[in-house]
Structures are given as C-alpha cells and as structure tokens.
Amino acid sequence: MTLGDFTTLRTGLRDGVLTVVLDNPPVNVLGATTMREVRDLLTGVRDDPGVKVIVFESANPEFFLAHVDMHILDQRELLEELAASAPPGVNVFQATGELLRHQPQITIVKLAGKARGGGAEFVAAADLVFAAEETAGLGQVEALMGIIPGGGATQYLRERAGRNRALELVLAGELLDARTAAAYGWINRAVPAAELDAHVDRVARTIAGLADGVVAAAKRTLPPADLGAGLVVENDAWASLVGRPAAQRLMSEALTAGAQTVEGERDLETLMGGLRAR
C-alpha cells in the first residue's frame, strides 16, 4: 500500500483493516484539502489486495465532520483541481460520496460525535455506520443556511430513509440522536459509547478475515444504486440557491456568531435559528 503525505488524515493498517482518522481542528470541517486527501487515499488503495476494510473515525470525539467549510468557495484553485478529477455528472462535493459508495472495499464510519451537512453526507455514503448512543448526532443543516444539500444527501437519504423522512431531514434541519438515526435507516446501529470501539473493531476484523472473493461477491450482488440523474438535479437546485444574497448573509453571520468554533458547533441549529429570527 502506498499512501501520500496527508495533513488532515492519519492512517494505520493492521490485518487488512485500514483505519483513517480525520484530523482537521478545531471542529473537523470538510474542506477542500480533506476532500482531496480522501480522494487520493480512496483511489490509492482501490486495487490494493492488502486493504479489505476502511474504517473512518475522528481525532475529535465531539465532531466527526462538522460540515463543509463555509470558506471553501474561496479555495478556487483546489476546487478546480477536484472538479477536474470528479466522476462525470457530479460536483466536487458529490464526488466524495460517490467515491465512497463505489469503493471496492467495505467502508465503515465509527461515529462518536456530530456530523452535519457535508459530514452527514459522508456518513450516508459509507457502507456501514455505527454510532455512539450517548454522544453521536446527525443533521442536514443546509436549509437553515438558505440552501439545500449539494453533496448527495437528497439522494442518499431518500434511498436510506424514504421520501417522507428525507424531506423532514432536509427541511427541518434537526440534529438526530443515534437511536433515531438508526430507526430512520440513516445508520446501521446505535451502540453504547463504551462499546463502540470494540464493536466496530469486531465487525471490521470479521469482514477483513473472510475468504478471498466474499466481499467482492457481496458488493457485486448488492451494488450501490445509480443516483446519477438525481445528483444532477440536486446540484442544479443547490447551485441556484448558494449564490443568493440570503444564503451568503446567513453563512457570513453564522461565522461571526461562532460557526466553525467548538462552542458554536455544539448547538449549531440554535445558532442558525437565531440568525433566521432576526
């Protein structure tokens, strides 16, 4: 296995399980650098027979991936690079999820803290997700920012939770606890926090220890749905909103009010609700 030098990821390989620790302080926003490094990692191990399972976790116990970096549109050069390497028909945000969904290895998210927006989309794109009952949270907060999700959530959530619940999650902007997320189908299972590490380790090592060809056969018989047409519609809808003055004002005021800081991100929904009320 050959991996590049990463600045927001830490990796370790043992017994066929590649552990990827997301480490972009202070709150693990999903920035352009992290998206590029996730792309490079996934493509780099795609054909590696020594990697059977990829487990994503966070260096920050409070935040898995807070959401997409609100400053990301300022990183034009890097975004252009990501766009050039994105699969046909998807934007740079959707590309991360589509790489995850089509990865030949089994991908697992170990969710101890919060994941909102693009972070929640990352979670929904993984094959398996296990979350801590007491501390994990998932939410699509984009509507509170004057936009809709643009990284696959509209399609991933409809497939996982059904249309009615997808509409609720996209429009209400609430943070779901792990048990509710499991009941909705957003994640596989809510696990007591004290048991999360052991549970994910057990599942990952069981899968990594299967006979050659079993994982590939399972993925071939249970392929990810073709969401291409829906992703195009999602991108068009997101693009029609993100440049509007209302969305730009809400995101700017959110940053001023404490978004992307530890304190502000602990209850981002209330922070954003206060901005809308003014």
- pLDDT number for residue 74: 87
pLDDT in tens, 8-45: 999 999 999 999 999 999 999 999 999 999 999 999 99
Query: Is 177 domain-assigned?
Result: yes
Average pLDDT, the chain: 96
Contact 157, 122 (CB under 8 A): no
Candidates 202, 205, 66, 63; CA nearest to 132 is: 63
CA distances from 73 to 68, 83, 88 (A): 10, 13, 21
pLDDT in tens, 74-98: 888 999 999 999 988 999 999 999 9
Whether the per-residue pLDDT at 268 is higher than 90: the answer is yes
Query: Is 57 domain-assigned?
Result: yes
CA distance 275 to 188: 34
List, in sequence order, the alpha helices (H) in the chain.
32-45, 76-85, 92-101, 118-125, 153-161, 163-172, 178-184, 193-208, 214-221, 228-242, 245-257, 262-266, 268-277
Buried/exposed code over 221-256 (b: 16+ C-beta within 10 A; e: otherwise): eeeeeebeebbeebbeebeebbeeeeeeebbebbee
Query: Is 216 domain-assigned?
Result: no
Query: Is 78 domain-assigned?
Result: yes
**Full-prediction pTM beyond 0.85?**
yes
Query: Is 218 domain-assigned?
Result: no
**3-state class of 6 per DSSP?**
coil
pLDDT in tens, 240-259: 999 999 999 999 999 999 99
Residue 156, number of CB atoms within 10 A of its CB: 28
Can you name the residues that pair with 131 across neighbouring β-strands? 111, 190
Q: 149 is in which domain, residue-wise?
A: 9-210+224-277
When pLDDT is cut at 50, 70 and 90, the band that residue 277 belongs to is low
Taking every pair of Cα atoms in the chain, the longest distance, rounded to a whole number of angstroms, is: 59
Looking at the structure of the chain, the number of domains it has is 1
When pLDDT is cut at 50, 70 and 90, the band that residue 3 belongs to is low
Query: Is 1 domain-assigned?
Result: no
- pLDDT number for residue 87: 87
Cβ-based burial of 167 (10 A; exposed 0-12, middle 13-18, buried ≥19)? middle
Q: If phi over 0 gives left and psi between -120 and 50 gives alpha, with beta otherwise, what is residue 213?
A: left
Q: What is the CATH number of the domain that holds 29?
A: 3.90.226.10
pLDDT in tens, 157-173: 999 999 999 999 999 99
Mean pLDDT of 125-154: 98
Query: Is 150 domain-assigned?
Result: yes
Query: Is 254 domain-assigned?
Result: yes
